[in-house]
Amino acid sequence: MNAAVAWSVLAIILIAVYITWTAGRLDRMHARVDAAWAALDAQLVRRSAAARALGVLSVTRAADEALDATPERRQDVENDLTRALRAAWASLPEGAPRDELEAAASRVALARSFHNGAVTNARTLRRNRLVQLLRLSGHRELPEFFDVDETGFSDEEPGPLT
């Protein structure tokens, strides 16, 4: 009888350790999503600043909208900025800071990739039945992907542009 009690206590301890470890892991994943979003947001702001430096009115307007966008509209206005940049790319004057904008677009693509990877990992863990059953995610919202157009500036020059 003592052996059965000992095995039961050991099983309960192991389950408690697993639940605690899973809750900590979920918390770390949400922290990674938050950090990745902050990095992506910083790169989007840098891209908007680089776009404004081009001096093209339609691009400047789109960049201003991107800088002032609410979180709910952010993805749409960033796509609008991408379309404005693509439309203006061929007609940019000589000496326009194209390299700076291309570098900013590449950094946005990389930051978006990290963010979406972190979101994928967090969503995968949140689908775990134990996480759902015990509500280990608490009141945290389900992290959302950030998807924007990443096609190049022109047909002749493919590459990331977000």
- pLDDT on residue 95: 80
Our CA angle for 138, 144, 147, nearest 5°, is 170
pTM: 0.86
Longest dimension (CA), the chain: 87
Q: What mean pLDDT is predicted for residues 18-45? A: 97
Taking 90 as the threshold, does the pLDDT of residue 161 lie above it? no
Within 10 A of 50 (CB to CB), how many other CB atoms are there?
A: 22
User: What is the full DSSP assignment across 93-113?
Assistant: PTT--HHHHHHHHHHHHHHHH
pLDDT digit string (tens) for 81-140?
999 999 998 888 888 888 899 999 999 999 999 999 999 999 999 999 999 999 999 899
Domains parsed from the chain with CATH numbers: 2-134 (1.20.1440)
d(CA 36, CA 142): 15
Taking 50 as the threshold, does the pLDDT of residue 7 lie above it? yes
What percentage of residues in the chain have a pLDDT greater than 70? 93
